[in-house]
Amino acid sequence: MSDKLIFAAFVGIDWADREHAVHLYDPGLQRPEPRILEQSPEAIDAWAENLRRRFYGKPVAVALEQSRGPLVYALMKYPHLVLFLINPKQLASYRTAVAPSGAKNDPNDARLLCEFLFKHQPRLRAWKPDDVTTRTIRVLAEDRRNAVGERTGLTNHLRQKLNECFPQALKLVGAALHVPSFLKLLAKYPTLKTTPGASPVTLISIPPRALQTLDDGDQPRGAKHTTAAVASGKDRDFADPRIQALRQAVPQVTDAALLIASRIAIGKLVAQIAALNEAINEYDRELDQLMQEHPDAKLFQSLPGAGRALAPRLLAAMGADRERFATAADVQQASGIAPVTTQSGKSHSVRRRRACPRFLKQTFQEFAEHSLKGSSWARAYYQLLRKQRNARHHAAVRSLAFKWIRIIHRCWKDRAPYNEQQYLARLRQTNSPLLAYMAING
């Protein structure tokens, strides 16, 4: 796109919360025009409209050091502004090249962005936003993942509180403390002192798949919970070991100060986790609807391990613009999955890439780990790295993600769903040593 346009002017903007440093260069006048732009819809609109009138609607190149945020969203709506999203590392290297002292301030960074864009624009690629559906999926998928991370932190805090004063409650449920029925139980009975008044129907309502039963010695052989027994609400109708354990439990702490504080803290955590559960469910409903509308949904849903949560994230990671990533290497490098190789003279080193979008890298790594359950070759490749090459878990997962990106990129370019059997046939055609390992290890 950028190599076909002749820009009327070049602009560098250093973004800030309240105001932005702007540096404009008009090639016709050959003079810089620095200014400060207030962060407000009215100020940005007036500035953009002034550029449109001044240059008669011709395209103006704008360099920014961010890929998302209020300013990018605000400038997206002006067709005469062509955005170039500069990697912060690129700007830092350019700043060091022209000013070895490392001096940095907002107006100077705006000037450097403008200068960098003017001198190297033919080598840079203008940013082209995805369609509305793809952008919505990207935002919702990332927000959902953040909500899940926030919920994990709160459940860890809740587990700590329960371990301090009410460890018996943890025997009612497994690792998933966010189960709604368990949260309802804790909201009503936050301490052991309150549970004697709890009905068996309430205590037995936690879904069986979320349960972590007591030790084998506490589990009566053949004990069952029938629907009729639960409906009756009477202790004599069933002998659930969890209820018996709560009835006979000895308090871990009796200090009133600690119990009062724990009751309030547990109530607060339960309310926060319940609110996040509802938000995550709403994200899922919206994403399900959007995935039904997106033409590439079936492609990413066909990937083994890419379920309801990961398929939208992978779709958002690749986007809808097939020109964005010309090769799989572009995706591997942009996501941070590809390592960085440094070579000088006789020295040679390979290290993990750290300067990368965290969420993008996390998406491919989490997918690679989930694919171990649904792909035979992926599981074998991971085991091969772990057993024969002594790779650590995360290193093996990153290496697997590296391979998966090549496959995903090919499917994405061809607009074709993934086929496990077709890929295995391809491995046989190339006499891949992975097949021999799979044959030996099942």
- pLDDT for 238: 45
Instruction: Return d(Cα 148, Cα 215) in angstroms, integer.
Output: 30
Q: What is the pLDDT of residue 98?
A: 84
| pLDDT at residue 251 in the model | 78
pLDDT: is 437 or 347 the higher one?
437
**Average pLDDT of the segment spanning 257-267:** 91
Report d(CA 272, CA 5) in Å as an integer.
51
What pLDDT, on a 0 to 100 scale, did the predictor assign at position 170?
Answer: 84
Determine the average pLDDT of the residues in 209-235. 38
Position 18 scores a pLDDT of: 85
Residue 70 scores a pLDDT above 90 = no
Q: What is the pLDDT of residue 241?
A: 66
pLDDT higher at 281 or 67: 281
pLDDT of residue 346: 64
Percentage, residues of the chain above pLDDT 70: 81
What length does the chain have?
A: 442
Is pLDDT above 50 for 79?
Answer: yes
72 neighbors 66 (Cβ within 8 angstroms): yes
Cut 0.75: pTM above it: yes
For 7-39, what is each residue's pLDDT tens digit? 999 999 998 878 899 999 999 888 899 999 998
Q: What is the mean pLDDT of residues 369-385?
A: 95
* 8-state DSSP, 250: P
The per-residue pLDDT for 197 is 53
Which residues are 367's β-sheet partners?
A: none
For residue 213, is pLDDT > 70?
A: no
Residue 353: pLDDT above 60? yes
Helices (H), 342-391: 358-370, 376-388
Q: What is the pLDDT of residues 161-185, one digit of tens each?
A: 999 888 888 877 767 899 998 898 8
The phi-psi region of residue 385 (left if phi > 0; otherwise alpha if psi is between -120 and 50; otherwise beta) is: alpha
Task: State the pLDDT at residue 320.
Answer: 92
Is the model more confident about 12 or about 219?
Answer: 12
DSSP class per residue in 21-69: EEEEEETTTTEEEEEEEESSHHHHHHHHHHHHHHTTT--EEEEES-SSS
Mean pLDDT is lowest, of 124-138, 210-224, 228-242, 364-378, for: 210-224
* Lowest model confidence (mean pLDDT) among 149-163, 231-245, 246-260, 418-432: 231-245
Q: Which residues contact 254 (CB under 8 A, 6 or more apart)?
A: none
